């Protein structure tokens, strides 16, 4: 059921009786794990940075002769990486009448107890849950934005866009295509109805989003349409120049994943066994399980990481945790060195990190805001890896 905007009243926030069940998932495993590992960090600026350095390649027999004159000095250059804290702000407003009228009943059965007897705190609690889900999505999917003025918001860079070195994309490329209304033009397109695709560039469109899975519908010789569901109604994209990638169709094998794990390992990642973690959504969790269900891998075990219980599998590059995360794109698998990830908070003087405070009163209601600023520190991007364009589980 959709939420409401504006003030909550007895008319738009009806009471019911019986047990109250949440119907939306509330788990945020990545945020919970890295918060549990580090406790979070504080920044005193909207932009925060960390440093890195590298060492020269090793040389066998880097030897000198007896009595040799010392050569030129050699130093290593440090480099910096930055990210930003983004603002999360939610408002809750409930009328005096709604807060008082806990005895009002709606629904078919009014012979029972209303479990919500304090409407304002209950609504604040739900707003906090929504913020946590937003932060989880940002830490995975966030697209970096550091505006030069206050006409646009700061956006933290998420893990998927942070990874540049250890990135494997199995998707078939279809770049720089013209969209008009609900049709994308591509001469002699090789896409077919029901193909799973994702947008890598949405251009000026505001109705399709990157990192979402869409399906080809209405395919013709030189054009196609997209739907949010297989065989569903076409989405109106508008006038835009877009790029898409078609997901691979062949089922991934153990080797498909080992290629990524090896790439990350060779670049210095997944070095701490306790926190080396595969992050997947439901489709790729099934694919990983199928790829490792050949009788050669050890039976799944589990371990606790930052207070989150994770399943593990044995790979050629050590025992890796598996974190099932609802907010990972359907076509993606990430392997992360969790010890290098941390939430970074901007502390508001006298208020803290995330806080609730009353807003100016203008009438017979209570209005509060929940406010906080948070960003992701992801450490060395070479310590993580990503595969995109994986097929959906069948």
Cβ burial of 210 (10 Å; 0-12, 13-18, 19+) is middle
pLDDT band at 273; cut points 50, 70, 90: confident
Check: CB of residue 260 under 8 Å from CB of residue 288. Answer: no
> Could you give the CA distance from residue 375 to residue 157 in angstroms, rounded to a whole number?
8
Per-residue model confidence (pLDDT) at position 304:
84
Predicted local distance difference test score (pLDDT) of residue 294: 60
Longest dimension (CA), the chain: 97
State residue 319's pLDDT score: 92
Calpha distance 342→186 (Å, rounded): 43
The yes-or-no verdict on residue 308 having pLDDT over 90 is: no
pLDDT over 50 (residue 295): no
- pLDDT above 80 for 114: yes
Q: Sketch the domain layout of the chain as residue ranges.
A: 25-52+78-170+250-343+364-394, 172-246
Give the 3-state DSSP-derived string for the chain, with helices as H, strands as E and coil as C.
CCCCCCCECCCCCCCCCCCCCCCCCCCCHHHHHHHHHHCCEEECCCEEEEEECCCCCCCCCCCCCCCCCCCCCCCCCCEEEEEECEEEEEEEEEEHHHHHCCCCCCCCCCCCCCCCCCHHHHHHHHHHHHHHHHHHHHHHHCCCECCCCCCCCCECCCHHHHCCCCEEECCEEEEEEEEECCEEECCCCCCCCCCEEEEEECCCCCCCCECCCEEEEEEECCEEEEECCCCCCCCCCCCEEEEEEECCCCCCCHHHHHHHHHHHHHCCCCCCCCCEEEEECHHHHHHHHHHCCCCCCCCCEEEEECCEEEEEEEECCEEEEEEECCCCCCCCEEEEEHHHCEEEEECECCCECCEEEECCCCCCEEEEEEEEEEEEECCCHHHCEEEECCCCCC
- Model pLDDT for residues 7-57, shown as the tens digit of each residue: 999 999 999 988 899 999 999 999 999 999 989 999 999 999 999 999 999
pLDDT tens sequence across 200-227: 999 999 999 999 999 999 999 999 999 9
Instruction: Look at residue 300 and tell me whether its pLDDT is greater than 70.
Output: no
Q: Is the pLDDT of residue 335 over 90?
A: yes
pLDDT of residue 299: 52
pLDDT in tens, 341-376: 999 999 999 999 999 999 999 999 999 999 999 999
Size of the chain in residues: 394
Distance CA 51, CA 251 (A): 39
Span 212-270, pLDDT tens digits: 999 999 999 999 999 999 999 999 999 999 999 999 999 999 999 999 999 999 999 99
Q: Which fold has domain 172-246?
A: Elongation Factor Tu (Ef-tu); domain 3 (2.40.30)
Give the integer Cα–Cα distance in Å for 139 and 86. 11
Report whether pLDDT(306) > 90.
no
**pLDDT(83) > 80:** yes
Looking at residue 1, its pLDDT comes to 66
Among the listed residues 88, 84, 86, 87, the one whose alpha carbon sits nearest the alpha carbon of residue 49: 84
Q: What is the pLDDT of residue 146?
A: 97
Pick from 36-40, 163-167, 364-368, 379-383: least confident: 36-40
- Quote the mean pLDDT of the chain: 94
The sign of the CA dihedral 150, 151, 156, 157 is negative
pLDDT value for 190: 97
**In the predicted model, is pLDDT for residue 186 greater than 70?**
yes
């Amino acid at each position: 059921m959709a939420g409401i905007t504006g003030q909550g009243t007895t008319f738009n926030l009806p009471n019911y009786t019986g047990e109250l069940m949440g119907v939306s998932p509330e788990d945020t495993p990545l945020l919970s794990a890295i918060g549990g590992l580090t406790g979070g960090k504080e920044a005193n600026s909207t932009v925060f940075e960390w440093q890195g350095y590298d060492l020269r390649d090793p040389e066998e027999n880097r030897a000198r002769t007896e009595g040799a004159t010392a050569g030129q000095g050699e130093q290593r250059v440090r480099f910096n990486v930055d990210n930003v804290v983004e603002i999360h702000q939610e408002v809750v407003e409930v009328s005096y009448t709604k807060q008082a009228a806990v005895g009002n009943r709606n629904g078919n059965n009014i012979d029972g107890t209303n479990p919500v007897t304090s409407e304002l705190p209950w609504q604040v609690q739900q707003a906090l849950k929504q913020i946590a889900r937003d932060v989880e999505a940002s830490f995975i999917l966030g697209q970096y934005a550091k505006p030069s003025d206050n006409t646009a918001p700061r956006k933290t860079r998420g893990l998927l866009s942070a990874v540049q070195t250890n990135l494997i994309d199995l998707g078939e490329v279809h770049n720089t295509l013209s969209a008009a209304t609900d049709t994308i033009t591509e001469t002699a397109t090789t896409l077919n109805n029901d193909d799973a695709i994702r947008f890598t560039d949405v251009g000026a469109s505001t109705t399709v989003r990157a990192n979402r899975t869409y399906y080809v519908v209405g395919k013709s010789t030189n054009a196609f349409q997209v739907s949010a569901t297989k065989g569903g109604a076409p989405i109106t994209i508008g006038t835009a120049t877009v790029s898409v990638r078609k997901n691979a169709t062949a089922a991934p094998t153990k080797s498909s994943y080992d290629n990524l794990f090896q790439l990350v390992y060779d670049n210095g990642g997944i070095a701490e066994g306790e926190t080396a973690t595969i992050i997947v959504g439901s489709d790729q969790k099934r694919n990983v399980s199928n790829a490792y269900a050949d009788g050669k891998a050890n039976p799944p075990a589990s371990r606790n990481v930052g207070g989150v219980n994770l399943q593990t599998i044995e790979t050629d590059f050590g025992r890796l945790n598996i974190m099932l995360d609802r907010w990972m794109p359907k076509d993606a698998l990430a392997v992360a060195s969790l010890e290098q990830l941390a939430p970074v908070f901007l502390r508001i003087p006298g208020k803290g990190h995330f806080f609730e405070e009353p807003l100016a009163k203008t009438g017979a209601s209570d209005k509060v805001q929940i406010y906080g600023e948070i960003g992701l520190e992801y450490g060395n991007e070479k310590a993580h890896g990503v595969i995109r364009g994986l097929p959906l589980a069948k």
